Structure 1
Amino acid sequence: MSTSEEGTFKVGNASLYTKTWTPTGPIVAKLIFVHGFSEHINRYNAFFSTLAAHGIQVFSWDQRGWGRSATRPADRGLTGPTARVVADVAAFIQDKLQQASSSKSDATPVFVMGHSMGGGEVLTLAGDAQHRQLVARVRGWILEAPFIGFSKGEEPSVVKVVLGRLVGKLLPRQQLKHVVPPEHLSRDPEVVESIRNDELCHNTGTLEGLASLLDRTAALSSGRVKLGSDVHSLLLTHGTNDMTCSYDAAVKFVKEQDAVEDKEIKSYEGAYHQLHADHCKDEFTKDVIDWILKRSKIESKL
């Protein structure tokens, strides 16, 4: 069993919507979760509740421009550049790590997980030397279908990218619709319909935000981002039929991270982009729980 509690997280001039899922029994691990493009954390209620029922406390928030953190239509997709996006993620992780270490008796290990765009964000942070001390305090990193490259046929044209960048320099806050087809995200018809009818999945970015997203993805796919030995453990989970983010690019990235000794790749045959809401969701959820609990036991012996 578990309980959930809503709140706010203040960073800079922003007040962001947060939610915490807490076990009713002992807490054996803590997970910080970073969501993807055009979604929000309440779409993960079932997944997070199951994690909490197994002793894993989950912390997450609707990022700038998304979900309940976008309180006005003008806020939609207004994420800011990569520096701000990563700074928000780092601030949220830092806040939870401070809470975890505030009590000398609390040695509960902390994990970080990112889905899709959020997966690319946590990798960008984890590979940034300025965050090395923060990264070293995280027990493990979990990637659910991270955005490291476009799936085949989904790449934007060079002309579209160049024009978007040029206009974006003049009008960075200019909003632009980018619709990810709901039927590409899950094989479950009910999930597809719920995404289509979810007003908080607004499919709206800004030229600055979308350009920054492309820059992060290019840095990851090109190999310019390298993880160091401060990344203790890494788990990649990805569906082989993902029509949004490239399965091959994600596998290649993780395989090339030679400095990470404890890394694992888990593929889900035929699965689409949202593993937590696809036909493989039970297997996926069990895999995530088992991976975290195994490393939590290791941590408790250190």
Structure 2
Amino acid sequence: MKIFSTRSEIQQYLASLNGKTVGFVPTLGALHRGHISLIEQAKAGNDVVVCSIFVNPTQFTDPKDLENYPRPIATDISKLEAAECDILFHPPVSEIYDDNEHWHLNIGPLEFLLEGEFRPGHYQGVTQVVYKLLDIVKPTRLYLGQKDYQQFMVISRMVELLKIPVQLVMCPIEREPGGLAMSSRNIHLTADDRQHSLILSKTLNWLKANFDVNKIFQLEQDAMAMLQSEPGVEPEYIEIADGKTLLPADESSTSIIALTAARVGKTRLIDNVVIR
């Protein structure tokens, strides 16, 4: 695996590939099985796979969260090599951002719903860094996980607005044996937290099994009560949304998704399930 830390080096190398297709997996590092599944999908569909590891400061709304974000780069490199990733782009912050940069992209209501409400400014930081990374790598396809469903929609909107020539691929959620969605943040969970966190996927699966479009409000109330009754869990939201807009679902929604976020102990987790 080739490792680059500057934009000029990676661009020069990618330019020498003579039109080979490039699959790109952008990450914050602290890689787990979910990330590796994205690398595998990218390998299956492209000639070359690029993974980036960059803990992007502009998408963290809490400075403590940024400071505490795990950065096990040596372990990450081993995992990428085992997965036969071709290229790692691991730049310092100074390589990505100049001083006093300004960025704002109008992505509409998507910015303020769900995650946007609880993490104001988060999606501006996400679009800012993904735009920069796409501009550097210029991939054929971009691979993102379903766990960050809203992020996938935000990036899709950005790609559409800015007419970026890349194909987006959403990859399924990888789960731990009990059902917990894999996340880099899971390492912060205590043994008790891990047990309590299983209520997220259980509640989402209950919603899917009991879904009735005429009872959405009641289902959301019951699901919230389920989350609240679990010790050590502080739910922020659980919503049944239109899969195309993330506005509340109704009988006209052709695609429906249930999404949740909760603090389990000191760790904030998100999860979702496609209902239809």
Range of TM-score over shorter length: 0.3 to 0.5
Instruction: Select the structure of larger CA radius of gyration.
Output: 2
TM-score, structure 2 normalization = 0.37
Asked which structure has the greater RCO (Cα within 8 Å, sep 6+), the reply is 1
TM-score when scaled to structure 1?
A: 0.35
